[in-house]
Amino acid sequence: MPIPRIRLGGPAGPDCSTLVYGTWRLLNDAIPTPEALCARLQHCADLGITTIDTAEIYGKYLVEEALGAALARDPSLKRRLQLVTKAGIYVPNAFHPERKVAFYDARGARLIKSAEKSLRFLGVETLDLFLVHRPDWLTAAEETAEGLARLLQDGKIRAAGVSNYSVHQFETLQHFLGGRLATNQVEFSLLHMDPITDGTADQAQRTGAPLMAWSPLGGGRLLRDDDGAGRRVRETVDGMRDAHPGLTVEQAAYAWLRMHPSRPLVILGTNRLERIAHAAEGAEVTLSREEWYALWTAAQGRRLP
Ligand SMILES: NC(=O)c1ccc[n+]([C@@H]2O[C@H](COP(=O)([O-])OP(=O)(O)OC[C@H]3O[C@@H](n4cnc5c(N)ncnc54)[C@H](OP(=O)(O)O)[C@@H]3O)[C@@H](O)[C@H]2O)c1
């Protein structure tokens, strides 16, 4: 079954795959060669996972450059893929020895500078989706909105959004941006259900801007033996295999997210090709209402209120 798609940010925004390949951990283990990374991106695109999530800060500011080198090996990928990046977190690093502490900066001029750097590193003329990575408590929403509006107007980004924003922060920025925020990328999984109860997912339904769910496996915790909630979820998935032959824990976890009415796009974090393919194979899994609530109950370790 093809991976379902969704357009973000209105008619001019990118048509994204609802399974997204995330690159936070890209350089964690063995650093892939540009050729190997190009092959991985081609593999994702062939599977229908055409949306790639990255950020200026990933890999100590090196992931975007690595992606750019991979994309240069096969320029057709630039047409096939939708590139999502984020900016606004600045930490001390080798390129900036003058920085003594980590800070957030979502002032318009800073966002524009970061977006232009991302364009250069990725080797593209437009970013499909550009997100403010974290709310910056020191910048007025109006000023952030001015920067995003300028990037949209200049065609440097096709859509704008945020990440890790509270409901009120989203609403305030949305007000100054004329309702154009395309998404809020938040932590959302069986092990982190806050978006369901803190208003984030309701806001996504109300505004029509779908969430993007990061760490859908709790950063891998869902699969670890020492995690109680993970163990209960795995036992529950074991009991679902009569109805879903071959169902794996991660496929169930992605399906659980997808079925929420806030329509979250699920961002995969694995570096392994076979796990990416496996996630794509699970795109057709649909849980029953009872199964969805059984997973909620298992993850929470308590009965429904
Ligand atoms: N906006 C934000 O603030 C923010 C924050 C965090 C992440 N993100 C985005 O979300 C993406 C996903 O986050 P995440 O990496 O924490 O996702 P995740 O899917 O929750 O965790 C991925 C980790 O789980 C491990 N894992 C173990 N068993 C696995 C299995 N069967 N299938 C898949 N993975 C398995 C992976 O290891 P292997 O590589 O060995 O498979 C990897 O280390 C990131 O890449 C990034 O793009 C955004």
Residue whose CA is at the smallest distance from ligand 1 atom 10:
214
**């806001």: which residue's tokens?**
203
Alpha helices for the chain (secondary structure H): 34-47, 58-61, 63-73, 77-80, 108-122, 141-153, 167-176, 194-197, 200-207, 228-238, 249-258, 273-281, 289-300
pLDDT of residue 225: 87
The amino acid occupying position 266 is: V
Could you give the CA distance from residue 138 to residue 291 in angstroms, rounded to a whole number?
44
Residue 286 · residue 255 · CB < 8 Å: yes
Residue whose CA is at the smallest distance from ligand 1 atom 38:
270
- Which is higher by pLDDT, 31 or 165? 165
> 160-163 and 129-132: which strand pairing?
parallel
* pLDDT(186) > 80: yes
Q: Which atom of ligand 1 is nearest to the CA of 249?
A: 31
Residue 158 · residue 129 · CB < 8 Å: yes
Alpha helices for 74-139 (secondary structure H): 77-80, 108-122
- The rounded Å distance from CA 279 to ligand 1 centre is 12
- The rounded Å distance from CA 217 to ligand 1 centre is 7
CB atoms within 10 A of CB 142: 13
CB atoms within 10 A of CB 30: 8
Q: Is 34 in the pocket of ligand 1 (CB under 6 A)?
A: no
CB atoms within 10 A of CB 6: 15
Q: Which atom of ligand 1 is nearest to the CA of 186?
A: 1
Domains of the chain listed by start with CATH number: 18-187 (3.20.20.100), 221-300 (no CATH)
Question: How far lies 167's CA from each of 41, 99, 133, 202, 264, in Å?
Answer: 33, 31, 15, 9, 16
Rg (CA), the chain: 19
Predicted TM-score (pTM) above 0.85: yes
Q: Which of 58, 90, 165, 254 is catalytic?
A: 58
Interacting residues of 173 by C-beta distance below 8 A, sequence separation 6+: 132, 141, 144, 145, 162, 165, 181
- The rounded Å distance from CA 178 to ligand 1 centre is 33
21 is catalytic: no
For a mutational test of ligand 1's pocket, the pick from 23, 64, 275, i.e. the residue with the most ligand atoms closer than 8 A to its C-beta, is 275
Could you give the CA distance from residue 225 to residue 211 in angstroms, rounded to a whole number?
29
30 Cα distance to chain centroid: 22
pLDDT of residue 115: 98
* pLDDT(106) > 80: yes
Q: Is 217 in the pocket of ligand 1 (CB under 6 A)?
A: yes
**Can you tell me the mean pLDDT for 114-119?**
98
For a mutational test of ligand 1's pocket, the pick from 31, 49, 91, 267, i.e. the residue with the most ligand atoms closer than 8 A to its C-beta, is 267
Q: Which atom of ligand 1 is nearest to the CA of 221?
A: 24
Which tokens sit at 16? 């994204």
pLDDT in tens, 232-257: 999 999 999 999 999 999 999 999 99
pLDDT in tens, 1-28: 799 999 999 999 999 999 999 999 999 9
pLDDT in tens, 253-280: 999 999 999 989 999 999 999 999 999 9
